[in-house]
Every structure is written in C-alpha cells, then in structure tokens.
Structure 1
C-alpha cells in the first residue's frame, strides 16, 4: 500500500485534526504526520472556526488527496483491509453514518462555547443554554447507541467512525467539567484511555504555548 501523509494542525486545539488522525489510527493505516505551522492560514482558519471549507486534516495516499473527516473515513473504510470503520450490519452502518454526519455538520453552540483545549481544566464551568442543548443531544445519541449496540463503544465492541467523530467531545466534556450520567461518563473514560488517545493527549500537552489569544477568539 502507498505511503500516506496526514496533514494536521495543533494537537491541543484542533478537534478536526484529532478526528482525521484517529480515523487513520483506527483503520491501521501506516502514515506519517505533517504538522502545519500555526501561522499557516488554513491552520488558523480551522482553529478559529473562521472557514467552512478548510482543508485540515488532509490525507495524501499515493496520488490521492482527501480532506474533510467524513470523506477520510469513507476512503479509509474502502481502501484499508479490515479497517472496520463502519459496522457490518446495514441498519447499524446507516445509523453510524447518520450520527457521524450530525457531529460533522452540527453542534455549533457546543463548538463555540467549549473549544477544544487539552491543556486546560475549568472546574464548575457554567454552560450557557444554547450549548447545554447541544450537550443534551450528544448525550442522547450516546445513550441510544450504547443501549442499542451494547457498548463499550457506540456501535459495539470495536470503535468506529462515530467514536472518532465524538472523541473531541469527550475531551471537551473533561476540560469543562461537564457532568454526565454513569454510562456516558464511562464512555468518555473508555475513549480517552485508548492507546491512540493517550498518545495524542501526551503530544498535545507537550506543544509550546503559542495560541494565547485562542481562548478569546473562540
């Protein structure tokens, strides 16, 4: 298989980079990372939520370049043997695509109010009403999936595209001290304690402090 390169931005702040990177890890793709400078316009547009069409993360695999996390997920599921980013059962596979797409295109209030920052911790953080509605909907999705497919991941025993899409939300819930029921709290713990997430979080915490203005800009 052709050598792959994944272009990402900050591991501390970039939820989309995490999703793309985690999808590659879950699929078992052999890839190298290319990290954009914070001064790169594409990286800043993504981190400051200023562009609806930024191309970070981007996966280059041989002669093919694919950006957008859902497109990366679908591509990997096609070209990597045994990637298993989608469930085998048609109904579950359709459900997985639906909740992944919802995470991809929605929850704007949650993104704005609880920006990803793995170095931070805000105990007793006050969540405003619009963001709380998004949190409640995320929790509803998680409960439905965990109840329907038996856990410990959203669609059963193995992580899928949906778990990669919601992984940054798990980090946000920890950063902003969001209170969850026992089942959803255990799901967050499960995601954050996977080896790829442990690797990502360690690298994020080792990043230099370059973006002091981001907490304000978000």
Structure 2
C-alpha cells in the first residue's frame, strides 16, 4: 500500500491515517507531495482526481478522505483494533470521529496545525472557545469511561482523527483542562508522533495556507 500525503508540518488530514498506520504497524510506502505553490501543487491533482491529500493506494484501489481511509483500514485489518470491539463503544467512537471530521470549523480556521510553531497564545473568537469546550467535554467523558490512556482505551481511529487537535491545543495554549493534559501526554509519547513531528520541523517549505 502507498499513502500519498502533504507537508508533515501542516497537513492535519495527512497526519490522521499516517499515525494510525504507524501505531498499528500497518506497512505502507509513503509519498509526500509538498503544497509549496501559491495555488497548491499540480502534482497533487495528478495523483488524485479529488486534488487533495491524503490518498491511500491499495493495488488498483484508491481511497481518499482521511476518515474514509481510516474506515477502510479498520475493515482491511480488523485484527489491529482500529475500532473498539464493543458495539456501543464502536458507535460512540465513530460519532466522535465524524464530529471531528465535520465540525470545529472555528478551531480549524483560526488555529491551523503547525508542527514547527512554538507555544504562543493568540486571541481567539468565541467560536474557538466553544470548540475547545466541546473537545474538553468529549475527551473527559471518553477517558473517564475507558480509563485511557487513549479515548477508548487502546489507540483507535478516533484518536487518529483528534491527533492534530492535540497540536493545536498545545501550540496556541487553548486549554488547561486535566483531561486535555493527560490525553495530550499519551498521544505525544507515541513513537509515531515523535517521528512525524520531527520530520515536520525539518521540512524546508513555508506556506501561507497552514491547513490542508
């Protein structure tokens, strides 16, 4: 399998399936296409009709959109546990993953992921504060129910979906909630996290558009 991704410094959508595959030991070839042009990189359009990364290529099959890739991987490799075994927990995990996929627009817009940014508070809108409060609620409830260290005990797709949020909450100093601190520490202790973050910091590309 091959995973086509964008810049590790900025591409939150690429980070999601990448970290899931690394944590779960799913072998894949990585192809990074940097979006270092003002209007993106035409090589991305050539690699995928959707014109966006990430894309997972498995033989003749191409799967695009982060959440669709994660769902495909859960079905393709059921033994690695990308979804909780319990049906109720699985439904809650999927609900949280889909809420992350479709929501939190203010946080996405105002506070893009950036693996090279130093921790520095910024002024944020009421919308960002509402987004952060909802994330604090989700993480606190899930960790209380599961016991951690990840949202449903073992690392799963929902953790992959929230991985870029860990970076956002830290670098913009958006939360002092105990559940955020505990969960963020668990996520950042993953070797896969350290690998991605180090590669992102080492990238030479600087772009205006921080979210992709």
Aligned to 1:16: 13
Aligned residues of 1:57 and 1:68 also touching (Cα < 8 A): yes
Question: Could you say what secondary structure the match of 2:10 adopts?
Answer: coil
> TM-score scaled to structure 2, two decimals?
0.90
Aligned-residue offset at 1:184: 1.7
How many angstroms apart in 2 are the aligned matches of 1:41 and 1:121?
30
Aligned residues of 1:26 and 1:83 also touching (Cα < 8 A): no
How many angstroms apart in 1 are the aligned matches of 2:142 and 2:155?
12
Aligned to 1:194: 190
- The structure 2 residue matched to 1:154, chosen from 151, 157, 175, is 151
Q: Extract unaligned runs of 5+ from structure 2.
A: none
Question: Could you say what secondary structure the match of 2:82 adopts?
Answer: coil
How many angstroms apart in 1 are the aligned matches of 2:43 and 2:94?
27
Aligned residues of 1:26 and 1:85 also touching (Cα < 8 A): no
Aligned to 1:47: none
The CA RMSD measured in Å over matched residues stands at: 2.0
Aligned to 2:127: 130
Aligned to 1:85: 82
Q: Extract unaligned runs of 5+ from structure 1.
A: 45-52
Aligned residues of 2:10 and 2:113 also touching (Cα < 8 A): yes
Aligned-residue offset at 1:41: 4.5
Do structure 1's residue 174 and structure 2's residue 202 form an aligned pair?
A: no
How many residue pairs align between the two structures? 204
Q: Which protein, 1 or 2, shows the higher relative CO under an 8 Å CA cutoff with sep ≥ 6?
A: 2
Do structure 1's residue 28 and structure 2's residue 25 form an aligned pair?
A: yes
How many angstroms apart in 2 are the aligned matches of 1:137 and 1:69?
22
- The structure 1 residue matched to 2:103, chosen from 103, 106, 110, is 106
Shift of the 111–182 alpha-carbon distance from structure 1 to 2, 3 Å rule, reads same
Q: Deviations over 1:111-150 (max 9, x none)?
A: 0010111111242322221111011111110011001111
Q: Deviations over 1:43-91 (max 9, x none)?
A: 69xxxxxxxx653100001121111111111111111252211000000
How many angstroms apart in 1 are the aligned matches of 2:56 and 2:187?
23
Do structure 1's residue 69 and structure 2's residue 61 form an aligned pair?
A: no
Question: Could you say what secondary structure the match of 1:180 adopts?
Answer: coil
Question: Could you say what secondary structure the match of 2:8 adopts?
Answer: coil
Pairing of 1:32-51 with structure 2 (within 5 A): 32-38=29-35, 39=37, 40-41=41-42
How many angstroms apart in 2 are the aligned matches of 1:93 and 1:181?
25
